[in-house]
Amino acid sequence: MIATTRHVGMAVALVSAMAFAGMASATKVTMDFDGLTGAAPVLGPGEYAANYYNGGCGSSYSGGSVSCGGPDYGVVWSANAVAFAQPGLTARYTGVANAPSGTNVLGIDKNIVGQPSGILMNVAAGFDTSLSFWYSTSALYGGVFVTVYDGVDGTGSILATVNLDATPGYCVAGAQFSCWNPLTLDFDGTAHSVRFYDDLSNPRQFLLDNVSFNMSGSGPTVPEPATIGMFGLGALLIGLFVGLRRRFG
């Protein structure tokens, strides 16, 4: 009887450990902006990121198509965040090339009236630990900043802020925005918004690519189907051991 009880305890502990391991899995989000099909090379139209990474649509820009059904990361970009393709000239930036991945990059449309300085990224569910991205800045200007807030819309307490180092110019001949730097910004707490902004007197100073963060701290993780199956298996094993105990105890 003692041995049977010990086996039951071992089964419960094993299944519980497996279940909690599944529930603790993190969700990493990476946005490369390549799914926004309105972005086109060489003076072509771009597409505003808008609700694309909230499972919704990007917005038409200069006749560009509208992309719908993007990944549901719970991310909403401000109305002035526009994705476009490189290499070559674009309607908003001159000389973009050598992006870290894919074709598209994210920039700012300074002509959108009523928007705050820079690009704003809202994540209603929140994220924690760190924010990572690649960036390119104009070699002619400085003053590009990134600030992480614990509230939406750039409100609440500041969790982290950084002044981006200027990237060299012209890593590709004729392309001012062709040198890219990676950056990881660590912080404590749960963030709900990030502002990427520059000196208002010198617009169009930066571009972004591969913006990523970890959603693991945003709230309870729903168990995956495999985890739920582990609970069922555990219950079955416990029932089997209890039955053996009654029969042979």
Q: How many Å from the N-terminal Cα to the C-terminal Cα in the chain?
A: 5
Task: Give residue 6's pLDDT band: very low, low, confident or very high (50, 70, 90).
Answer: very low
- The residue ranges of DSSP E strands in the chain, in sequence order, are 28-31, 47-48, 59-60, 75-77, 81-85, 104-108, 119-137, 144-149, 158-163, 181-198, 206-214
Q: How far is residue 9's CA from residue 3's CA, in Å, rounded to a whole number? A: 10
* Percent of the chain scoring above 90 in pLDDT: 36
Q: What is the pLDDT of residue 52?
A: 96
Model confidence pLDDT, tens digit, residues 184-233: 999 999 999 999 987 655 555 789 999 999 975 544 334 434 433 443 44
Q: What is the pLDDT of residue 76?
A: 97
Is it the case that residue 18 has pLDDT exceeding 50?
no
Is it the case that residue 237 has pLDDT exceeding 50?
no
The set of residues, in sequence order, having a beta carbon less than 8 Å from that of 148 and lying 6+ positions away, is 131, 158, 159, 160, 161, 185, 187, 191, 193, 194
Q: What is the pLDDT of residue 153?
A: 95
Model confidence pLDDT, tens digit, residues 91-113: 456 678 889 998 889 988 877 76
Q: What is the pLDDT of residue 11?
A: 43
State the average pLDDT over residues 2-27. Answer: 45
Q: What is the pLDDT of residue 196?
A: 94
Q: What is the pLDDT of residue 242?
A: 42
Q: Calculate the average pLDDT of the chain.
A: 75
